[in-house]
Amino acid sequence: MVVETIDRRMPTKKPKLSLYIPDDLKASITRLSEVRNRSVNNLIETVMRDEVRRAIASGELDEVQAP
């Protein structure tokens, strides 16, 4: 019997960011990602990107160019 292992990790060159959050927040983020049919990572990236755009638009943050 041959068993194949599927590597579901997505190859990326993006930098890794680790964070600590309360269990209830993680559960809510996980559920919201399911409702929106997104991965948890994609949901967090989208929310963070939207917030940075708002901060730039309001003048709270200068636009930062990626290296």
The predicted pLDDT at position 8 comes to: 64
Question: What does the pLDDT average to over 38-66?
Answer: 91
- The predicted-structure confidence for 27-36, as pLDDT tens digits, reads as follows 999 999 999 9
- Which DSSP string do the residues of 9-64 spell out, in sequence order? PPP--SPP------HHHHHHHHHHHHHTT--HHHHHHHHHHHHHHHHHHHTSS---
Nearest residue to 30 via CA among 42, 19, 40, 21 = 40
| Distance between CA atoms of residues 46 and 24, nearest Å | 20
55-to-13, 39, 48, 63 alpha-carbon distances in Å: 26, 24, 11, 9
* Average pLDDT in the chain: 87
